[in-house]
């Protein structure tokens, strides 16, 4: 399995073992999750909580009932991809801009299953992939200045609005050597809605696909 798409498909197939009939499943966003969504019609679900409008539309198109998280209670399982993952199963997410809704559904779930191809594994988060930060539109410049003061380089994601009507600053050169501390520090900047470091809501299980198959890592 050298091909990245084949690896995503293999990770998605491996995720099926965590899904039980008649459960309400939390479903993430992105191309890896799309591989999973294609497989979902083989399982009878009570419904799904979607982490983005895009995912919601795809699930509906397959006839899967969409449940509002407010009426779903605590979910047993949330399955999603990631942009980067470290050895502690801490993540950077938000490449697709759905980080806030993804973090909410992950937080409301007992188990977060993360599916990645082997290009996503890193020693230290944030060296290659920027940290996406969702910001209230009015606070964009203020938050950007605070990030520059931290030695980072925020880049406004042009022509993109989140499901919640906010904007994204893709932020390079942050020191992510302590993901939990940085996640909190970024949340403390006024105007920040959410950031793409998933340390408090890290994965519980990592399905890592490579040319050797799918490795299951737990914490």
Residue 38 among the catalytic residues = no
Q: Could you tell me which residues come within 8 angstroms of residue 169 by beta carbon, excluding any fewer than 6 positions away?
A: 132, 133, 135, 140, 143, 144, 147, 154, 155, 156, 157
Binding mask 26-65 for ligand 5RP (x = CB under 6 A): --xxxxx---------------------------------
Query: Cβ of residue 82: shortest distance to ligand 5RP, in angstroms?
Result: 5
Asked if 210 interacts with ligand 5RP (CB under 6 A), we say no
Could you tell me whether strands 205-210 and 109-117 are parallel, antiparallel, or unpaired per DSSP bridges?
Answer: parallel
DSSP summary character for residue 66: B
Binding window for ligand 5RP (CB under 6 A); candidates: 23-31, 148-156, 170-178, 186-194:
23-31
Pairwise CA distance, residues 207 & 138, whole Å = 39
Which residues in the 93-112 window bind ligand 5RP by CB under 6 A? 93-99, 102
Q: Which residue is catalytic, options 56, 84, 102, 134?
A: 102
Q: Does 134 bind ligand 5RP (CB under 6 A)?
A: no
Between 2 and 149, CB nearer to ligand 5RP = 2
**Cβ nearer to ligand 5RP, comparing 34 with 185:** 34
Distance CA 57, CA 62 (A): 9
Q: Does 83 bind ligand 5RP (CB under 6 A)?
A: yes
d(CA 209, CA 116): 6
Rounded Cα distance between 77 and 154, Å, is 33
Active site amino acids:
102
Q: Which residues bind ligand 5RP (CB under 6 A)?
A: 28-32, 80-83, 93-99, 102
């Amino acid at each position: 399995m050298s091909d990245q798409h084949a690896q995503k498909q293999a990770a998605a197939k491996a995720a099926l073992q965590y899904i039980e009939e008649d459960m309400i499943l939390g479903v993430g966003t992105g191309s890896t999750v799309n591989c999973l969504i294609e497989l979902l019609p083989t399982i009878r679900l009570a419904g799904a909580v979607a982490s983005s409008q895009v995912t919601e539309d795809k699930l509906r198109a397959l006839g899967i009932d969409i449940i509002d998280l407010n009426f779903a209670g605590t979910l047993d399982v949330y399955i999603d991809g990631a942009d980067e993952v470290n050895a502690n199963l801490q993540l950077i997410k938000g490449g697709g801009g759905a980080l806030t809704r993804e973090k909410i559904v992950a937080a409301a779930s007992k188990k977060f299953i993360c599916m990645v191809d082997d290009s996503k594994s890193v020693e230290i988060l944030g060296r290659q992939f920027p940290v996406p930060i969702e910001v209230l539109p009015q606070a964009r410049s203020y938050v950007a200045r605070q990030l520059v003061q931290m030695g980072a380089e925020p880049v406004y994601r042009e022509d993109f609005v989140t499901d919640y009507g906010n904007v994204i600053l893709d932020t390079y050169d942050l020191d992510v050597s302590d993901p939990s501390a940085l996640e909190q520090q970024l949340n403390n900047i006024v105007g920040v809605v959410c950031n793409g470091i998933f340390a408090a809501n890290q994965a519980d299980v990592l399905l890592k696909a490579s040319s050797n198959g799918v490795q299951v890592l737990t914490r």
